[in-house]
């Protein structure tokens, strides 16, 4: 269904710090961030990442504009860093929430899903940035 919390790690909460990781032969921490906002129809993640294809800020904000928990597709707003598509769309399929947008005249997608038995949020970005990373809550 089209609310955001089922597609982010279990127990995630606004204000929570997270590590950004990639998986090659082992898990590597490549950045840090914070879950600024998490509600049924909005997620806002802000952080820094340093990987081969990109180094810098990584700010992702997704807003499901129809606010319909029963929908499996609809309109949304996607922000990737300073770039915004007010006319993006989302779809729920194969246990992932995927947002499709146009960023800098390129097709872009952001997919969110739970991974590692719900302990991590898998974030797959293509188009504007081609990155697959996992967000994991930091240990206190």
Per-residue pLDDT tens listing for the chain (140 residues): 689 999 999 989 999 999 999 888 888 999 999 999 999 999 999 999 998 878 899 899 999 999 999 999 999 999 989 999 999 999 999 899 999 999 888 899 999 999 999 999 999 988 877 888 899 888 65
Q: Can you list the pairs that 102-110 forms with residues at least 24 positions away whose Cβ atoms lie under 8 Å?
A: 103/78, 103/127, 103/128, 104/128, 108/78, 108/80, 110/60, 110/62, 110/78, 110/80
Beta strand 83-93 with 27-39 is unpaired
Give, in order, the Cα–Cα distances in Å from 66 to each of 40, 41, 121. 11, 9, 23
Question: What is the pLDDT, as a whole number, of residue 58?
Answer: 87
């Amino acid at each position: 269904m089209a609310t955001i919390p089922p597609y982010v790690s279990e127990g995630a909460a606004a204000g929570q710090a997270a590590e950004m990781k990639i998986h090659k032969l082992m898990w590597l921490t490549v950045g840090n961030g914070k879950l600024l906002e998490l509600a049924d129809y909005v997620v806002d993640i802000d952080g820094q990442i340093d990987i081969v294809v990109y180094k810098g800020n990584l700010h992702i904000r997704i807003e499901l504009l129809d606010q319909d928990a029963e929908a499996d597709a609809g309109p949304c707003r996607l922000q990737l860093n300073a770039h915004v598509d007010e006319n993006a769309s989302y779809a729920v399929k194969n246990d992932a929430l995927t947002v499709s947008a146009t960023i800098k005249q390129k097709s872009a997608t952001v997919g969110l899903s739970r991974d590692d038995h719900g302990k991590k949020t898998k974030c797959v970005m293509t188009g504007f940035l081609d990155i697959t990373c996992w967000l994991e809550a930091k240990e206190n």
